[in-house]
Structure 1
């Protein structure tokens, strides 16, 4: 043993010094001397013995006192015995910490059972207090039963597991809480202080032996909470597995019992109807989820909320759900989407209801499902976002073109006299439209049954949970509403999740359209905007819900196949009409930036806001281009044309005045040209005793006096107009009947239109030209036939095209006939002409008219119109041509002029675009004059010779 010692020089002194120092021990990272370390071990042994004694006596201490507590365990109770074991509210003595049972009602004879555990009773005040801290909701002993799907255990699973790990760590490191720090130089003051504290604690414990230590309580909590986690792992593993599949989007099918897990506040949904029809595709954001659980009281039936939104579900579905006696309550989703009333943008409520269904269904087959589960989610989100941006850009007003079918919208249930019903039927639209959401909503609200709320409904208040889900009554607890239940109503967690989302999101605020355009918004916000916008279809003369995807800018639609822009070049107008109309309307509406409206700077009237409008009257026989002129003027100026007929204004004077004022406001707001077709219906002469007609005239006189915009009136019975209107009309333009020159141009332009179209057709143009020349001269010489007007010529072309197409289809059935495409021939027009001539002769015979156009004769007899004018002020011919045609025989140069006129794309000699033609005409005129002079000089020389 001596050989093991170090006897080197100085070694002995070092050993002696080392032996004099106390032995140092380390406990949980703290260095203590031997005595302190022994004391620590003794104290641990005492605590362990106290814990064993505590567990053996099965007593525990709460803050209020001591209650009996069995060993922590899970007790499974048969469904039929549940109410025999858990017959009272509160905790059950000498029972398990967790009581688990299947579904059964208070009625022992009710044998309904779901085949799985359905109840979980937390039979420990200590555990209820701990869970209350974890989930953030007060839990009481008298409502200690949780029912499937145990929402708090599902939603707060991470917090519960974290709390368990923390308790386990604290129990393992209990001794670490007893910190003792001893310095290396041998001083152990802190160890002595620690020993004194332990002695004081021991004396306190001996004084109150019934109070358990903090370590015992912590260990008890750890054991009970571990039971909860074991229950979650063993009995709820299917739920957590399904939720993991939902998170990673691998779940494809889902049963109704698990449907609650699929949705949460903030999820973006799309409707199944939108996948089947892109025109109905709409995204929604989830606000609140409730329902989808077992019904515990069969005497109760689902009662929809008092603010049941008729836009969310049909009344029929409401009644079906209210009368259903299912095993499960329907799942209800409170959702919202973004809409606008034209001035503000905000959320609108939408509720989806899913009744119980058997088995599993595809997630994407649900009426509304999370967008994340769609295979085309990126494409759909991009499409919805772009559509939303388009919606926001036009909702407060835009002049566009629409081609397609409008949407159908309805509110309420048809045939239910207890609920108001509103419906907008779809219509085919191919015209310019004026998008104005605010004006459309105001128009629909006048029906009294149309509702357009921003906010409110389920946006303001969540749908309340069905109380039959927690109506598991205690035996002998009273009757009716006085019966008691020990089931904890965990629907508050759904309300809390909703409140958290509403507080964090900015999607549900209501802001102005102009302000929203200035903000940087994310794609999900745009995606929530609707697929429709309300607008006024000019040709249909109706307010309609329009598809956003079918709206086109006017410049874009001009290049589309089948679309032909209305142009002045397509009209045959009397000389000077075009420039006069353009100058007046352009000056008044300030179509160009270089022109300032004179009406804003100066008014000739002494009364403020009086006489600021521009009223134009176009009068003449039917079919000479009056209405088309107004359309072309509006199109060239880039302004909407708002056509109004007597049917749009109503029957009595009061209704007519309101309608007319409404149209005048819209026309002024949209800065459009308003057209009142067949104005003589309301502008007729006032007669004594005819109060209704006189009231019409009075209303129109006042409107014409104060209307600040452009109003174009058309009439073919100008002789019936009241004399008071004459002074209120700024310009009156007369449209004479078509002459040979205008007829030629119209025929030529219609033929040219067919050639430039996409219609594959062979045209025998020479035959057709010969026909219309012959037809015009024959009708002019005839005593009974009427010269065709512009509308007659258009109708003749439509009928001839139909005949040509019919012959082509018939020829395809006969293999002997070789006809590769339809052929338009003069024969088709001759058929149309014969039927028209027969009808004209019939009318002439009926009225006994021999001579010119019978309709012109009758109009002149009734003093409503005179189609023939003694001078040539309004002829459609060039002024130089009027005199040249007085000669019976036309020269070769004159025929060349006619050929130029027929081939010219324009019919107005004052058009600047026709300068080349004008130069050619002037040259031919000079050439004619030179030949005349030469002939006169030759004639003077002839007698001399």
Structure 2
């Protein structure tokens, strides 16, 4: 004998009539319009067969489906089927809606709610009794509106009256209990099915980021897990971007079993109307949804300074299920790039951060105003400071802040910062305005920048700690672009890894219009010769090819699809070029200028060599980090003290920054003002000897 899979568990209150007895007239009317039957399982035909309800199991040989038996039920408004499984046990109760007009009303009430079971075209719509109970208020409203019409539909009124009489008989007591508890803000586990109405707005903040989230109710049922523990599962939908599409997605929530009465607001999920601050939350989420809708339209650089999420596999399973992943908090600071599409390209398609997935038939081009409150509380992107993909709270995302005076912090020989700043300002101006209005400017041959106003490739060389990285950061600030940093460790040391990871990095900066910094690029710039291994020569060749490709793309302007032929590598690249110049800046840093391959030197648009720090330069760096302490009235440290520090301690920029930061922290902890003696004591205890080597800052 085959078994029937059980998906719905019916509460015992639906199996027996309540003590609420309707009037005699209504009782007779119900007998004529409501039929209660059993649907049992036939072991011979492997089908269900319907008989008059006797509260007993039946087995009978059925050769074919008896349409006449089905047809005899059409005269009823409702047919209540108690489904009995193959073991002869009651499994659930379903209601067949035989009235066409009543079915239309219920369809309107449960529009887009997974409660109606349409079945085959020759069958009536079916609904669970608990779901019909949720529509009680709407059915009463429909009856009242129909009665007010000048020409009411008497057949519909009759069907509505029959349905409401059934609900009063089987659910009257439950409704009174539910109304009494809800008036006090309480609920029991057994009455959870009556808490969530069709299309109701549900509220929760039980997410990892503890953000407000409103969802639209879809359906709910009670279940038991494998340990026989009861729980109530709610399906609700929200608007999200899963990395590929924008649209409605379905989420699941489990409400564990609880004894007695519980405040409704203590549930993990509850109706928004029960929240004491519902109006302010609606307004806040509408504004947030409008911002979310703007964020997911394309890559956009923003500012972030709080907790974000990244994901990792638990190390079990295949990574295809949600339980195979876990969300981890991390502190994301400074600039982030919000780009769900790029996130999907560079991450696992089963990653938990892209859940729930947008339903195929629920994709959207934009979010309507009345649906803004349902937008997801988080969005996918990338943190530049932590170099990590993650999910960011929409409410914590701010507009980026750019430091126009960043080059004032770059302490290098006089004239160099001004020259670099002028190059970047000219570059930004041409990026924003496009081609020069004067055709003669396009023919200028500038010795400093070839292809003026287009891609820039620069090299900064010098010992560690002289300001190379800080210069790249200042360049990004002046250009109003994020800085994407790649180190030799990120790219690897074998040919395959370098080619793949460098290609990924270049794809990212093309898409995001970043300033690319390849830090400590000595291994990729080293001169090729016969005394070096073939693999190292291959790495240099790959590095050169990729950089040449991306700089060529920077300098192309075309409409539609352009085929770029690079003859040196005998490769044809077909690339989609935007209808504007892509203004790119790539900066490489090295400590060994004398070992750079000649092929790189000929392709550089600019190169600068930084000398070791001298005393005046170190004094300037000390001023940068102790400016507030020096200018504070009654302070215990002055510029003369900084000159003394520069003479006594030959520190690098990083060491000066660390010493200043630690000294300020110690002074705050001790509740005393910063002094020269405290700074000296900090330097000594940190182990910074006068002859210490410089460290990059």
Q: 1:765 and 2:638 equivalent?
A: yes
CA 1:701–1:533: 2 relative to 1, 3 Å:
same
Equivalent position of 1:260 in the other structure: 193
SS in 1 for 2:309: coil
Q: 1:696 and 2:539 equivalent?
A: yes
Higher helix share: 1
Equivalent position of 2:387 in the other structure: 541
Equivalent position of 1:237 in the other structure: 172
Equivalent position of 2:214 in the other structure: 283
What does residue range 25-424 of structure 1 map to in structure 2 within 5 Å?
83=54, 134-135=102-103, 149=130, 151=132, 155=136, 157-158=139-140, 232-241=167-176, 250=183, 252-273=185-206, 279-286=210-217, 288-292=218-222, 321=224, 323=226, 325=228, 331-340=232-241, 344-354=245-255, 356-395=257-296, 396-409=298-311, 415-417=316-318, 419=320, 421-423=324-326
1:627 offset after TM fit, Å? 0.9
Equivalent position of 2:50 in the other structure: none
Instruction: Please tell me whether the aligned partners of residues 290 and 372 of structure 2 are also in contact (alpha carbons under 8 angstroms).
Output: yes
Equivalent position of 1:575 in the other structure: 414
Instruction: Please tell me whether the aligned partners of residues 134 and 196 of structure 2 are also in contact (alpha carbons under 8 angstroms).
Output: no
Q: 1:587 and 2:426 equivalent?
A: yes
CA 1:712–1:789: 2 relative to 1, 3 Å:
same
Report which stretch shifted further, 695-704 or 594-603: 594-603
Instruction: Please tell me whether the aligned partners of residues 264 and 289 of structure 1 are also in contact (alpha carbons under 8 angstroms).
Output: no
SS in 2 for 1:737: coil
Of 654, 673, 690 in structure 2, the residue corresponding to residue 791 of structure 1 is 654
| TM-score, reference length from structure 2 | 0.68
CA-to-partner distance for each residue in 1:820-876, whole Å, 9 max, x for gaps?
A: 634423353156258757584xxxxxxxxxxxx8x69xxxxxxxxxxxxxxxxxxxx
Q: 1:436 and 2:374 equivalent?
A: no
Instruction: Please tell me whether the aligned partners of residues 320 and 350 of structure 2 are also in contact (alpha carbons under 8 angstroms).
Output: no
CA 1:154–1:594: 2 relative to 1, 3 Å:
closer
SS in 2 for 1:711: strand
Instruction: Please tell me whether the aligned partners of residues 57 and 84 of structure 2 are also in contact (alpha carbons under 8 angstroms).
Output: no
Of 500, 503, 513 in structure 2, the residue corresponding to residue 671 of structure 1 is 513
CA distance in 2, matches of 1:740, 1:99: 94
CA distance in 2, matches of 1:228, 1:447: 45
Instruction: Please tell me whether the aligned partners of residues 178 and 191 of structure 2 are also in contact (alpha carbons under 8 angstroms).
Output: no
CA distance in 2, matches of 1:74, 1:334: 30
CA distance in 2, matches of 1:120, 1:596: 70
Q: 1:821 and 2:660 equivalent?
A: no
Of 698, 710, 717 in structure 1, the residue corresponding to residue 592 of structure 2 is 717
Instruction: Please tell me whether the aligned partners of residues 433 and 538 of structure 1 are also in contact (alpha carbons under 8 angstroms).
Output: yes
SS in 2 for 1:750: helix
CA distance in 2, matches of 1:378, 1:723: 67
Q: Output the aligned Cα RMSD.
A: 5.2
CA-to-partner distance for each residue in 1:765-819, whole Å, 9 max, x for gaps?
A: 377246325416xxxxxxxxxx32323322332343344445x2xxxxxxxxxxx
CA distance in 1, matches of 2:349, 2:411: 43
Instruction: Please tell me whether the aligned partners of residues 263 and 370 of structure 1 are also in contact (alpha carbons under 8 angstroms).
Output: yes
CA 1:75–1:537: 2 relative to 1, 3 Å:
closer
Higher strand share: 2
Instruction: Please tell me whether the aligned partners of residues 410 and 417 of structure 2 are also in contact (alpha carbons under 8 angstroms).
Output: no
CA-to-partner distance for each residue in 1:14-72, whole Å, 9 max, x for gaps?
A: xxxxxxxxxxxxxxxxxxxxxxxxxxxxxxxxxxxxxxxxxxxxxxxxxxxxxxx9998
Instruction: Please tell me whether the aligned partners of residues 659 and 683 of structure 2 are also in contact (alpha carbons under 8 angstroms).
Output: yes
SS in 1 for 2:251: strand
CA distance in 2, matches of 1:588, 1:827: 45
Instruction: Please tell me whether the aligned partners of residues 134 and 194 of structure 2 are also in contact (alpha carbons under 8 angstroms).
Output: no
CA distance in 2, matches of 1:76, 1:595: 77
1:577 offset after TM fit, Å? 1.3
CA-to-partner distance for each residue in 1:558-583, whole Å, 9 max, x for gaps?
A: 8xxxxxx8621122222221232123
Instruction: Please tell me whether the aligned partners of residues 342 and 438 of structure 1 are also in contact (alpha carbons under 8 angstroms).
Output: yes
CA distance in 2, matches of 1:798, 1:356: 53
What does residue range 1-16 of structure 1 map to in structure 2 within 5 Å?
none
SS in 2 for 1:685: coil
Instruction: Please tell me whether the aligned partners of residues 566 and 631 of structure 1 are also in contact (alpha carbons under 8 angstroms).
Output: no
1:357 offset after TM fit, Å? 4.3
CA 1:256–1:835: 2 relative to 1, 3 Å:
closer
Q: Which runs of 5+ in 2 are unaligned?
A: 1-28, 38-52, 61-68, 71-75, 107-117, 555-583
Instruction: Please tell me whether the aligned partners of residues 270 and 368 of structure 1 are also in contact (alpha carbons under 8 angstroms).
Output: yes
Q: Which runs of 5+ in 1 are unaligned?
A: 1-68, 92-96, 123-127, 174-217, 293-301, 303-320, 461-507, 559-564, 777-786, 809-819, 841-852, 857-945
SS in 2 for 1:741: helix
CA 1:352–1:734: 2 relative to 1, 3 Å:
same
SS in 2 for 1:273: coil
CA 1:448–1:393: 2 relative to 1, 3 Å:
closer
Equivalent position of 1:730 in the other structure: 605
What does residue range 423-462 of structure 1 map to in structure 2 within 5 Å?
423=326, 425-445=328-348, 455-456=358-359
CA 1:725–1:509: 2 relative to 1, 3 Å:
closer
CA distance in 2, matches of 1:337, 1:260: 21
Equivalent position of 1:801 in the other structure: 664
CA-to-partner distance for each residue in 1:259-287, whole Å, 9 max, x for gaps?
A: 2332244222122415xx7643222112x
CA 1:424–1:256: 2 relative to 1, 3 Å:
closer
CA-to-partner distance for each residue in 1:432-490, whole Å, 9 max, x for gaps?
A: 2222221122111378887567533xx75xxxxxxxxxxxxxxxxxxxxxxxxxxxxxx
CA distance in 2, matches of 1:773, 1:153: 78
Task: Indicate the structure (1 or 2) with the bigger Cα radius of gyration.
Answer: 1
Of 653, 657, 661 in structure 1, the residue corresponding to residue 495 of structure 2 is 653
CA distance in 1, matches of 2:283, 2:55: 59
CA 1:774–1:407: 2 relative to 1, 3 Å:
closer
1:347 offset after TM fit, Å? 1.4
CA distance in 1, matches of 2:467, 2:444: 32
SS in 2 for 1:367: coil
CA distance in 2, matches of 1:225, 1:268: 26
SS in 2 for 1:788: coil
CA distance in 1, matches of 2:398, 2:529: 48
Q: How many residues align?
A: 580
1:720 offset after TM fit, Å? 2.7
CA distance in 2, matches of 1:70, 1:385: 46
CA distance in 2, matches of 1:143, 1:629: 73
CA 1:569–1:88: 2 relative to 1, 3 Å:
same
SS in 2 for 1:657: helix
CA distance in 2, matches of 1:227, 1:596: 76
CA 1:269–1:75: 2 relative to 1, 3 Å:
closer
Of 638, 642, 655 in structure 1, the residue corresponding to residue 480 of structure 2 is 638
What does residue range 854-865 of structure 1 map to in structure 2 within 5 Å?
none
Instruction: Please tell me whether the aligned partners of residues 686 and 694 of structure 1 are also in contact (alpha carbons under 8 angstroms).
Output: yes
CA-to-partner distance for each residue in 1:363-385, whole Å, 9 max, x for gaps?
A: 22222222111111111111211
1:727 offset after TM fit, Å? 0.9
Of 532, 553, 560 in structure 1, the residue corresponding to residue 378 of structure 2 is 532
CA-to-partner distance for each residue in 1:81-114, whole Å, 9 max, x for gaps?
A: x8468969989xxxxx99999x99899999x99x
Instruction: Please tell me whether the aligned partners of residues 797 and 829 of structure 1 are also in contact (alpha carbons under 8 angstroms).
Output: no
Q: 1:680 and 2:522 equivalent?
A: yes
